[in-house]
Amino acid sequence: MKNIIYSIYIENNEPNLNEKHQFTKTQLAKHYQKLIDVKKEYAKHCNAEYRLYENDTYWQKFKKKFNGYQFDIINLYKIHIWEELGKTYDNVLYFDFDVVPNTTESFFEKFDMNKICVHAPNATKENIWSTSALKRYKKKINTYEEIVSNFDGYSMYVKAIAKKAMLALDNNFDSNYLIANTAILGGNSNAIKQLKYTEKLDELLDILYTAKKEKLFGEEISKQFFPNNEVFFHYLLDKYNIDWFNLPKEWHTYVMPEDEHTKQLKSAKLIHLISKRFEELWEIL
């Protein structure tokens, strides 16, 4: 079996980066080699090749092709590569560059690669809204519109509603609040070819903008809809009933900037360090 694990590292050279993006850029550059080494080591345990995609001519051509799209091109790129690698490899596993493997157990042997393997949180109000917001909503201190007006498009709840709005245009009103986190993404060649993500991008953009215009879930939340790879990814899973498996949290443990970095991370298999506080993680591991 030909297995491959890959990541993407393209330095953010936009001018006038805000503090958050500057911190991310600095941390990824500082820990660049170790982040590669831990993935290469894990690939050995998986009997897999490891490949890092960087700012090369292939990326530049891809970026130029999709430059007119109001879309996060790097997140399109990672799924495009996933689909392309699925044409030549039996099993493909993607890691965001800030993902740290912490196990010797092979992903390819652990999970059924005939299914798309991705972690998808259940982004309901109860799971995503703050305790304070839920209380204010239930006690009718604030309306739904008032509360969601404080969210942004990157909220998992907003993404779930965007997916539901897109599906509602197909008269599918029974969709769930699951929304894929594509920082870790696995599947074999047969599973990958079911998605046709890159091929359907124009269609996905049209459906999203129609859903945004229709405001089926209210004006305030619809304002937050934007072309997002995770919304599109899970929309395709639901619309076409594609067979997928929801990875358990230990195989996609994400650590937010506000989270404490505790010794409990030692038991995680794959750590998605959204906080980018790698020094703390290395000390724990």
**pLDDT score, position 69:** 66
Check if the beta carbon of residue 238 is closer than 8 Å to that of residue 113. no
Q: 8-17, 77-86, 195-204: which has the minimum mean pLDDT?
A: 8-17
Of 120, 227, 132, 228, nearest in space to 177 by CA: 120
Q: Residues 154, 172: one domain?
A: yes
d(C-alpha 184, C-alpha 93), whole Å: 7
| Pick from 178, 4, 32: nearest CA to 95 | 4
Residue 71's pLDDT band (boundaries 50, 70, 90)? low
The pLDDT of residue 175:
81
Write the pLDDT tens digit of every residue in 125-170: 999 999 999 999 999 999 999 999 999 988 999 999 999 999 999 9
Residue 188 lies in a domain: no
Q: Do 78 and 165 share a domain, yes or no? A: no
Q: Say whether both 125 and 233 belong to one domain.
A: yes
Domain edge (last residue) among 242, 257, 273: 242
Share of the chain above pLDDT 90, in %: 87
Lowest mean pLDDT among 13-22, 78-87, 262-271: 13-22
**Whether 269 and 165 share a structural domain:** no
Nearest to 92 by CA among 81, 101, 102, 100: 81
Q: Kindly report, residue by residue over 230-253, the tens digit of the pLDDT.
A: 999 999 999 999 999 999 999 999
Domain span holding position 161: 120-177+197-242
Residue 189: inside a domain, yes or no? Answer: no
129: in domain: yes
More confident residue, 72 or 216: 216
pLDDT of residue 70: 57
- Predicted confidence band at 28 (pLDDT cuts at 50, 70, 90)? very high
Q: In whole angstroms, what is the distance from residue 215 CA to residue 161 CA?
A: 11
Report if residue 192 sits inside a domain: no
Q: Are 53 and 81 in contact (CB under 8 A)?
A: yes
For residues 183 and 47, give the distance between their C-alpha atoms in angstroms, rounded to a whole number.
21
Considering the domain architecture, whether residues 69 and 44 belong to the same structural domain is answered as yes
The answer to whether position 272 is within a domain reads yes
Average pLDDT of the segment spanning 78-94 = 97
Which residues sit opposite 188 in a β-bridge? 91
CA gap 205, 201 in Å, rounded: 6
- Rounded average pLDDT over 178-185: 97
> Do residue 237 and residue 129 come from a single domain?
yes
Residues 72 and 134 in one domain: no
The dihedral sign for the CA sequence 63, 66, 70, 72: negative
For 198, counting Cβ atoms within 10 Å of its Cβ (0-12 exposed, 13-18 middle, 19+ buried), the class is: middle
Total domains, the chain: 2
Question: Has residue 207 been placed in a domain?
Answer: yes
Distance, CA of 66 to CA of 86 (rounded, Å)? 21
pTM recorded for the entire structure: 0.94
